[in-house]
Amino acid sequence: MATNDKDQALLDLQLRQKTNKLLMLTGMGAGIISRTLTSPLERIRILQQTGASNYANKGVFQSLRHMYAENGVRGLFRGNGVNQMTQAPFTALEFYFYDVFKNNLFSTDAASLTYQQKMVCGGLTGMSATLVVYPMDVVKTYLTINQK
């Protein structure tokens, strides 16, 4: 009977590992899609926050027109490659860490977690993912505002 318990434990471990990989791949896909679709808006936000003179006192649509007129479609997505290099791992880590914290911090069934427990898992997830990815975010900001 002990052999059956060991076999079951091994199967459970293998299933968890496959689930973790699937969570990370799903997170990466979600991050890539969401950031690509919002990349022009992210670029405008960063340019306006950093005080780029070409974008001062312009609204979103004026900024988009100016960006397109200056560099075409390519200008709308400048810095998006680095954006993907930060967002894809960040979202993947969010999916993964949430599942890890949810399953390891609380002994109750995952479906019956209280709002407070979910908030703890979410907070720890955000802190963990940010800690890992933050240095790359600085590079992304630099490449987004670099006009060359």
- Specify the CATH number for the domain of residue 113: 1.50.40.10
The DSSP 8-state label assigned to residue 108 in this structure reads: S
Domain that holds residue 17: 2-145
Q: What is the pLDDT of residue 2?
A: 56
Task: Judge whether residue 1 has pLDDT over 70.
Answer: no
- 34-to-29, 31, 84, 95, 128 alpha-carbon distances in Å: 9, 5, 10, 15, 21
pLDDT digits (tens, 9 = 90+) for 9-58: 666 666 776 777 888 888 888 888 988 999 999 888 888 888 778 888 88
Per-residue confidence at 72, pLDDT binned at 50, 70, 90? Answer: very high
Helix (H, G, I), strand (E, B) or coil at 107: coil
pLDDT digits (tens, 9 = 90+) for 86-127: 888 888 889 889 988 988 888 767 678 889 999 999 999 999
Structure pTM? 0.66
Query: How many independent structural domains does the chain possess?
Result: 1
